[in-house]
A and B are shown apart, each in its own frame.
Chain A
């Protein structure tokens, strides 16, 4: 079974530039998550989708971050414009369904460096 795919793996941009990350979850997984992991910290949830609807985006900085999940499969996370403090690893995860006792499957992440 293929895992969660993410691209690109690495991205270096200047502050105030824009960047987009792509995620393809495990086939059949209805719930998709985007996390931000700053060096030395645990992952922090940015947004959660159930199929193509947003379930939780309470911690998404909506003035600069946006995400979509068209057709309930792939998802894209965008930052526009980027700030220095956005340097982090962006992780995508998926679960088969939204429920209480589900493990999350994570992709390899995209390491973003903002200069």
Chain B
């Protein structure tokens, strides 16, 4: 399968704690993206990291990328109830055209 793995499949934490999600992929990439999906807003882009970058920050989000291990992680600091959603990594590569392949997702629940 072209799809990699996301770990854990589900995560439940208390509000205010940090949440870490991991993603592994199988091919050489030129970028990796993280998306959030909830019933209210659908699938929304969070952050993009290029293959020559190792770390990127956006607000309470921190993404790391290790291309030698073909893995990425998303850290959400000081979690809020509104962060409850499914989080998907998606890796981009060129095969003819630019392609984007999504992982299976991590279901994050923030408990008040």
B binding-site residues for A, Cβ under 8 Å:
3, 30-31, 33, 42-45, 48, 50, 88, 90, 92, 94, 96-105
Task: Contact check, A48 vs B97: say whether CB atoms are below 8 A apart.
Answer: yes
In the bound complex, CA of A100 to CA of B103 (Å): 19
A binding-site residues for B, Cβ under 8 Å:
35, 40-45, 48, 50, 55-56, 91, 93, 98-109
Interface of A: prevailing SS: loop
Interface of B: prevailing SS: strand
Chain B's nearest CB lies how many Å from the CB of A88? 13
Task: Contact check, A108 vs B50: say whether CB atoms are below 8 A apart.
Answer: no
- Nearest first, the 6 A-B pairs at minimum CB distance are A42-B102, A103-B45, A106-B43, A55-B97, A43-B102, A108-B42
B residues within 8 A CB of A104? 45, 100
Task: Contact check, A106 vs B104: say whether CB atoms are below 8 A apart.
Answer: no
Task: Contact check, A105 vs B45: say whether CB atoms are below 8 A apart.
Answer: yes
Chain A's nearest CB lies how many Å from the CB of B52? 11
Task: Contact check, B97 vs A98: say whether CB atoms are below 8 A apart.
Answer: yes
B residues within 8 A CB of A93? 43
A residues within 8 A CB of B97? 48, 50, 55-56, 98
A residues within 8 A CB of B3? 42
Which of B31, B45, B94, B103 sits near A42, CB closer than 8 Å? B103
Task: Contact check, A100 vs B88: say whether CB atoms are below 8 A apart.
Answer: no
A residues within 8 A CB of B103? 42
Task: Contact check, A100 vs B102: say whether CB atoms are below 8 A apart.
Answer: no
A residues within 8 A CB of B101? 45
